[in-house]
Structure 1
């Protein structure tokens, strides 16, 4: 049985500065999304430009585990049913319902012919032929035993593998250089926070502040609680409750002031605050 792992940002999460997260994700499946640079409609990245979107989840089945039991190979990550599944790299989506033992399967075909596959989904979220960028949500995880779309899964998880242009299944972790580099966020230029900015923020908080959720660019209570812990270094004295308010954002502005922000420390995040923060979050050490 695969263990459960509650996803960050799947429940009633708040988004800063009035961003509607559902609209954000819905838009990412239809047209290019400038905020954070997630969607590159018609211009998918190369297959080697992939990252591990599940690094915050426990691995419950390694590549070798699969090979040892006669599988063609794959990696399993435990997570609660309904967890959003970000694309490991840019490409074009194809949904395969009831794909044998793999159950509901999403395939993302990259521009050079490599294909990413996720198996045991509970729901598809974008239509066949949709161009999705790195980090764009493509479906919801499943895997509960006996549930529609679970295939032969015995517990909630996602199965991930990569397929070469020749049709050989390979370990995606061998193609991302031990984790892969996250893209830089365009928030540094346009002052509009988006999924890539939040992916980089989550990775920073994973490195520095004990964040253990997914690097999915969808902030929720776990992301915000880790941010509040880190903001102790910047004068935040409020509770670590995962509900950011003016005191949390004032501390973020103090951090941003070290990276070119010259506005007031008033706890109201605007484009200039986000630009300063993103100059920090775009540093190579958070790739």
Structure 2
């Protein structure tokens, strides 16, 4: 579909660095500028319903559409400063994240804003709720629930966020976890787990090494491929862990599949997580 998005009201981002937690959300601290905007794809686990090329062919300035239920939390794809634009033409309710170096990201067709204008956010913090139901407040020209995402470069030209992410990977990536040797899960082990789940199973929270319900639910989704048949409830029990042991058995774990994670189970799982593709 076509989105004739106005850029009025879009503010250039304040320079930010670091982060703090307020009320369970991550917020960036004002300070010196980032060396470059680091952007990731928070929506890798959702189906793309309209590509960049399809948008352009339909006369749009460009965007990527992801199918998702109304009310889905929308994580910031990178640190920046938030500006909300209600009823922004065909784009409906739009949230803009102004990043470092003049780049911006925009999410369209929101059902709700959750932050005030000028709020500083860190990567992964929730900035709004998805919408898009035809005729609903904030949907603009959308004909069904989805999220539209695009970026804008410093010269004001709309660009493909997936191409940007592919061309600007985070410097150095994540370090390897020592759990492969120690058999004891550490924060780096959990960060690598979160990044793997972000890339493959729809995890959209921060890569902070502190797994919560959303992390565990994404792990349960991943374990569908290893024999887990229980609920996706974010509560890890023996059946969930048994599937993790099944995965680990392909990476050197030779113990029982009993759903009790010991040092050898964790070593095998960590060998899987230490693969370069999950950096």
Shared fold by TM > 0.5? yes
Query: The TM-score by the shorter chain falls in which range?
Result: 0.5 to 0.7
Superimposed CA distance per residue, residues 153-206 of structure 1 (whole angstroms, 9 cap, x where no aligned partner): 1110111111011111111122111795595389979945999555314147x3
Q: Which runs of 5+ in 2 are unaligned?
A: 2-20, 180-184, 206-213, 253-257
Alignment match, 2:151 = 162
The separation in 2 between residues aligned to 1:186 and 1:42, in whole angstroms, is: 29
SS at the partner of 2:107?
strand
Task: Call closer, same or farther: CA 1:196–1:222 in 2, change over 3 Å.
Answer: closer
The separation in 2 between residues aligned to 1:169 and 1:219, in whole angstroms, is: 32
Q: Does the CA contact (< 8 Å) of 1:46 and 1:90 recur in 2?
A: no
Over aligned residues, Cα RMSD in angstroms? 4.1
The separation in 1 between residues aligned to 2:47 and 2:132, in whole angstroms, is: 15
Are residue 151 (structure 1) and residue 143 (structure 2) matched? no
Alignment match, 2:223 = 227
The separation in 1 between residues aligned to 2:231 and 2:33, in whole angstroms, is: 38
Q: Does the CA contact (< 8 Å) of 1:107 and 1:116 recur in 2?
A: yes
The separation in 2 between residues aligned to 1:239 and 1:118, in whole angstroms, is: 34
Alignment match, 1:200 = 195
Alignment match, 1:285 = 277
Q: Which runs of 5+ in 1 are unaligned?
A: 2-23, 32-38, 233-237, 260-264
Q: Does the CA contact (< 8 Å) of 1:247 and 1:267 recur in 2?
A: no
How much does 1:52 deviate? 1.9
How much does 1:71 deviate? 1.6
Q: Whose RCO is larger (CA < 8 A, sep 6+)?
A: 1
Count matched residues: 238
SS at the partner of 1:76?
strand
The separation in 1 between residues aligned to 2:104 and 2:73, in whole angstroms, is: 19
Task: Call closer, same or farther: CA 1:216–1:133 in 2, change over 3 Å.
Answer: same
Q: Does the CA contact (< 8 Å) of 1:94 and 1:106 recur in 2?
A: yes
Q: Does the CA contact (< 8 Å) of 1:51 and 1:179 recur in 2?
A: no
- Range with bigger deviation, 184-193 or 46-55: 184-193
Which residues of 2 match residues 98-247 of structure 1 at below 5 A? 98-177=87-166, 180=169, 184=174, 191-192=186-187, 196=191, 199-203=194-198, 206=200, 211=201, 214-217=202-205, 218-219=214-215, 221=217, 223-227=219-223, 229-230=225-226, 239-242=229-232, 244-247=236-239
The separation in 1 between residues aligned to 2:29 and 2:225, in whole angstroms, is: 34
The separation in 2 between residues aligned to 1:130 and 1:195, in whole angstroms, is: 28
TM-score between the two structures when normalised by the length of structure 2: 0.67
How much does 1:92 deviate? 1.6
TM-score between the two structures when normalised by the length of structure 1: 0.65
